[in-house]
Structure 1
Amino acid sequence: MTVAQAVVAYLSRQYTVDSIAGQDYRERLIPGIFGIFGHGNVAGVGQALKQYQQLDPSIMPYYQGRNEQALAHQAVGYARHTRRRATFAVSTSIGPGSSNLLTGAALATANRLPVLLLPSDSFATRAADPVLQQLEQPYAYDITVNDAFRPLSKFFDRVSRPEQLFSALHNGLRVLTDPAETGAVVISLPQDVQAEALEVPEEFLADREWRIRRPDADDEDIRRAADLIRAAKRPFIIAGGGVLYAYAHEELAEFVRLTGIPVGNTQAGVGVLPWDHQSSLGAVGSTGTTAANALAADADLIIGIGTRYQDFTTASRTAFKNPDVKFININVAPLDAYKHGSSLPIVADARKALVKLNRALGGYRVGADLEEQVAAEKQRWDATVDAAFETRASPLSSQNEIIGATYRAMAARDVVVCAAGSLPGDLHKMWRVRDPFGYHVEYAYSCMGYEIPGGLGVKRAVLAEAARGGVDRDVVVMVGDGSYLMMHTELVTAVAERIKLIVVLIQNHGYASIGSLSESLGSQRFGTRYRSLDDDQHSFDEGDILPVDLALNAESLGVKVFRIDPGEKAIDELEQAVRDAKAAPERGGPILIHVESDPLLDAPSSESWWDVPVSQVSELESTRQAYETYAGHKKRQRKLLG
């Protein structure tokens, strides 16, 4: 068979095996391949997929796409919803087809999420040289566009000879299924090598199982952690995505029930506890709740579980104000366990570590004064969100109202998807998650344009889950106009496959998040409005609003659209539109709801900070004032967390 045929056959026989609390799971690691064909892969992977499709479509289903970056985002969305047990492969042509994947590779690696990228490459033999779209460097002729993947990937290999395929795939999938090392796995396939024939050993094409490694915690580490917790007066848990990937949310709930320790969560950790759990204080850090941030500020012990301590989580190292605070970091990845000079790094699976901690802490519980503060702070923040959801703005609605209306219309099992702009911060603070799978915000890379393709990947995972008898869910993408314009073309993919993806498009005529940030930094929202050019000032800040109709744009792609007109009834109509979209037939295709908002109406404050440098000298008075504020925050910034 050819190299490409061997790739497809091999991937069709790979399975992940997992064991959680004595229950075993087995599913296909690569359930399908996304691809856009060009001269680099049409005769290789394209031919192989067509051949197997005719033999048996279930061997390796092929899915069409409109943009290579978006295909990587779909795979990542699928991987996250399946808790990293499965992902898609992506095949591209050489040159721009391959380099379009670079952003997707960076996003996957930043999020610690698996995706298998198979970019085509220039001729290995150089028989045709330089081939169309080949990159030539005079100092190193062996460099191709695909070398750009090296710093963005957790694994990279180039199959320059057919027999290299065996080790390339085996080692690539080893990394793909490693919870501590996973991310983008890139196997570069020169276009001539893809079409070459080779003898393939039977054992290479046999079914192979990849058991997800879940390392146990060292007993001595658990003993030391228990001692630190027993000595603490004001412990606080920061729960990250690692809790969800380890299926540790039930064990965390038991840990909290026994000890009374309050919990704040990162973006990836939303869903570790239901929002109304008595110990759940919601988001922590720069986009956090005042409740979680108040407890984090006074904590004398932070127990980080499955978090990578991104700067939003630590409020750029200003969230923890107790000078004697210590840190226990439980993480499957040593990089994250040791981060920021942790007092006690524990390299372990989150669930297994919590099982041992629950045994080691028998009888321990926090003081009544801490539990009373948790209840009071939680009540204060819940009232703040209630007010934000209920306040009616006119003529344009606030984003707070829009989030509230969307939330009320969705079921507890449904999934909200977002990635960039002001929405992720507002959702992190205010979204009242009721299901561990109900919140999907990509915030490690916060990639504009992720929302629709990522949401489509989530929906594919939901459909696969439902087909196996699991929970059926609606997937609702919330996206601003700026991010929509970056990458909305996978709506056509949803139309072609008749996939019901619900999109709430918030039109605020610009970049609301960066506009607000720009204003706070003294830059007066420069370059963040969608306006016509003022030729005299060469400015886009004060011109007329652009006559762009994004609802009509979606309709032109074959999407069913609900338009919500501005006014007093907008929020009620939006809520009903989401309900109507949920009631639509499952195979009816995507639905978009278009609503306008006022970008100047902010969400409730987190009473926190994020370090974005301000010009030290300026002729703008607004910038000088912003720098004074910035300098004050910098004085509170810790060098290490410790």
Structure 2
Amino acid sequence: MAEQADVILAVGTRLQDFTTGSRALFESSDKTLIALNVGRFDSLKHQALPLSCDALVGLGQLDAALGGWRGSDEWREQTSTLKREWAEAVHRVTADQGLSLPTDAQVIGAVNRQAGNDTTVVCAAGGLPGELHKLWQCSGPGSYHVEYGFSCMGYEIAGGLGVKMAKPEREVVVMVGDGSYLMHNSELATSVMLGHKLIVVVLDNRGYGCINRLQQATGGAGFNNLLQDCRTVEAGAPKTDFAAHAKALGCESESVSGIAELEQALVRARAAQSTYVIALDTDPLPSTQEGGAWWEVAVPEVSEREAVNKAYQGYREAKQRQAR
């Protein structure tokens, strides 16, 4: 709909690459982009018409100024149809398919189904923010806390502790990959010490699955992202027991296999009085294709690999859709 619209009102958004499809959603030069934002820097992005004010105040004034104006019946019908189709797509990709190695989307679905109106999900880096951005069904203000401005690995658990300290009445669920967990996990001990309970779901895909997918999407061969592609001793990389590690930090914890076991563990975690860590193995390869928008990741211009040359051609074609 952003591609078709002649006027786009962006309220309180930084208009970053995920939101704008790396600016490819605004390909038409005759669009008017209006940015209503309390931050003047963000209200000027993409040559927008800036409305620098509080969102609630600004929307109220716009509503009054518009009077009885409304969009066409056809546009509203299209909106309803697309929303319904998207809800069906989300239900399909997040449903439990009984896989021993579930996808990120299926784990998100399990967490979302067990989340109450009092739940805040916290995440930061890897493939999860992109999946959450599309698939998480918010229950209301404060139910979604995802830092993705700089994909800060290690933010998740410390950030989750901060969210819990700010809103102790809420159930805080931290979703984190094995890479980010290994980078910064010490605040688990702090949460136990201070009595600030977290529920932490560790998705172990044995490496940096997001970067591996990007590497392959740009024509590269798997290298140094999944542990199976890394330089290791003959026995291979060790299998980290995240549940045992969390228990050593004072948490309650368990390892599960598949979505059904995860959902049962989430019930136990909600009933627990202290920080509870659930670890499960996931598939590093799939990502949700439904609802996708182009994301600009540069591709080498020259390569001996045909896959890279093909990816570069696609990159050049996508660049033509960016607003100028």
TM-score (norm 1): 0.49
Number of paired residues?
323
1:495 pairs, out of 172, 192, 207, with 192
Are residues 1:309 and 2:6 paired? Answer: no
Q: Which runs of 5+ in 1 are unaligned?
A: 1-294, 464-471, 534-538
Is 1:615 the equivalent of 2:300? Answer: yes
Quickly say closer, same or farther: Cα 1:620–1:633, change in 2 above 3 A.
same
Question: 2: distance between equivalents of 1:305 and 1:480?
Answer: 31
Output the amino acid matched with 2:247.
E
The question of 1:504 aligning with 2:204 is answered no
Pairing 1:403–2:100 present: no
How far does the alpha carbon of each residue in 1:50-73 deviate from its partner, in whole angstroms, 9 at most, with x for none?
Answer: xxxxxxxxxxxxxxxxxxxxxxxx
Query: Which one of 387, 408, 422 corresponds to residue 92 of structure 2?
Result: 387
How much has 1:498 moved relative to structure 2? 2.5
> Any idea what SS the aligned residue of 1:444 has?
coil
> Which among 37, 40, 45 is matched to residue 339 of structure 1?
45
Moved over 4 A (4+): none
* Cross-structure match for 1:459: 164
Residue 189 of structure 2: SS of its match in structure 1? helix
Larger Rg: 1
Distance in 2, matches of 1:495 and 1:575, equals: 23
Bigger RCO of structures 1 and 2 (CA < 8 A, at least 6 apart): 2
Residues 468-496 of structure 1, C-alpha deviations (whole Å, 9 max, x = no match): xxxx2210000000111110011110121
Alignment of 1:276-291 (within 5 A): none
- In structure 2, what is the equivalent of residue 116 of structure 1? none
Q: What is the identity percentage for the equivalent residue pairs of Structure 1 and Structure 2?
A: 43
Q: List aligned pairs for 1:529-544, cutoff 5 A.
A: 529-531=226-228, 539=231, 544=236
Secondary structure at the counterpart of residue 17 of structure 2 = coil
> 1:621/1:590 Cα in 2 relative to 1: closer, same or farther (>3 Å)?
same
Counterpart residue number, 1:558: 250
Deviation at 1:391, TM superposition (A): 4.7
Pairing partner for 1:328 from 16, 34, 41:
34
User: Structure 2: any 5+ residue segments left out of the alignment?
Assistant: none
Within a 5 Å distance, the mapping from 1:55-454 to structure 2 comes to 295-342=1-48, 344-454=49-159
Decide which of 564, 567, 574 is 2:262's aligned counterpart: 574
Tell me the distance in 1 between the aligned counterparts of 2:80 and 2:187: 44
Alpha-carbon distance in 2 for matches of 1:437, 1:404: 19
Q: How far apart in 2 are the matches of 1:398 and 1:600?
A: 8
Cα distance in 1, alignment partners of residues 235 and 220 from structure 2: 18
| Residue number among 519, 522, 542 corresponding to 2:216 in the alignment | 519
| CA distance in structure 1 between the aligned counterparts of 2:98 and 2:299, rounded to whole angstroms | 32
**1:604 aligned residue (270, 289, 303):** 289
Post-superposition Cα deviations, 1:83-104, rounded to whole Å, max 9, x if no partner, equal xxxxxxxxxxxxxxxxxxxxxx
Separation in structure 2 between the aligned mates of residue 528 and residue 360 of structure 1, nearest angstrom: 53
Per-residue Cα deviation, 1:202-236 (whole angstroms, up to 9, x for no partner): xxxxxxxxxxxxxxxxxxxxxxxxxxxxxxxxxxx
Shift of 1:335: 1.5
**What is the CA deviation profile of residues 297-322 of structure 1, one whole-angstrom value per residue up to 9, with x for unaligned ones?**
10100111122211222111101233
RMSD, aligned α-carbons: 1.7
**Deviation of residue 543 (structure 1)?**
8.1
Structure 1 residue 531, shift from structure 2 partner? 3.7
What SS is found at the alignment partner of 2:109?
Answer: helix
Per-residue deviation, 1:393: 4.8
Q: In structure 2, what residue type is equivalent to 1:602?
A: S
* CA–CA separation in structure 2 for the residues paired with 1:528 and 1:600: 12
Could you tell me the TM-score, scaled by structure 2's length? 0.95
- In 1, the alpha carbon distance for the partners of 2:94 and 2:30 equals 38
Matched-pair contact (CA < 8 Å) for 1:478–1:506: yes
**Structure 2 equivalent of residue 43 of structure 1:** none
Output one character per residue of 1:493-546: Cα deviation in whole Å (capped at 9) or x when no partner.
01212321110011100111111111111112322112485xxxxx46x98453
Change (3 A) 1:563 1:521: same
Asked whether the 8 Å contact 2:27–2:322 carries over to 1, the reply is: no
8 Å contact from structure 1 (residues 410, 579) kept in 2: no
